[in-house]
Structure 1
Amino acid sequence: MTAPGGARPGVVVVVRAALLRALLLGLCWWAVSEGDPSMRGYGVVLVAAVTAVTFALAPARRRSPRLAHRAVPTLSLAGWFLWRSVLGGADVALRAVRRPVRTDPVVLEHRLSLPPGAPRVVCATLSSLMPGALSVHLADDVLVLHVIDRALPAREQVDALQRRIAAVLSA
């Protein structure tokens, strides 16, 4: 198993990577199977097989020092995103039970400042789970959003999301 750059990772690196991957995949399996004990046998086989496949797709390598620097902004983005998702779900639930239903939909075009490619796609994808917003289209640096109520701070939310994504990229 050769790492990028031709260097072979040490046994400790490979074992650590295998255990971490298996743990994460096992947690995913447990969640998908809803913790059903009768599914453990399938889970063990599938987790082992998928862990092996991940090594073919992404071989173990020594940790990059950048990875540690990215951990804080990545966790910050994840926490912020989860909180915004909870707020979005609560907003939708409240709108569903309130009478009259309060909506004033609008389609907004918002210019993104993130670099082209994956950062913009991530921003468009994550913006769909913010309160009252749905990304409709992404063309070059323009994100088109459908917003359920024009009073919602959709532009500010997208800008905050961009700042957090940029922090992960620059770490």
Structure 2
Amino acid sequence: MPNFSGNWKIIRSENFEDLLKVLGVNVMLRKIAVAAASKPAVEIKQEGDTFYIKTSTTVRTTEINFNIGEEFEEQTVDGRPCKSLVKWESENKMVCEQRLLKGEGPKTSWTRELTNDGELILTMTADDIVCTRVYVRDRGNYEARTAVGALQAQSLTQKSAKELRKQRQK
């Protein structure tokens, strides 16, 4: 089973503005959304077929929790409420079909796939427009947390050693 867990940073994006356009997002909001989504922070937690995905930009943060094969509610990329169902398409690729809860609009879906190179490829589709966004694991964030943890452990060890020396001196 693939491991999607981690913090991800975007390295490439194609057709995001075109996707928003076909969804009916006005030009001003598209420009804001494209700028805000140019460097999203993505956090994924996976336990088997259970997922938590948090995507944060300067404009908006979305969080979804789902189990593969179980319908759940979320929002389309333009903020419309929908029912979604995620299934495994292959060993490393999940596919999500979305159904609007109200009104009409383009048929939307998304996929997430882990490549052999360790990239995460997110595709978002609205009718015949496909937006592709490619991510890599944010090792810097992981390394920073690991370094902080090591420093905290070192500090505790030093404090314990000092306390032990004090006790011996008594």
The structure where strand makes up a greater share of residues is 2
TM-score computed with the length of structure 1 as normaliser: 0.23
TM-score computed with the length of structure 2 as normaliser: 0.23
The structure where helix makes up a greater share of residues is 1
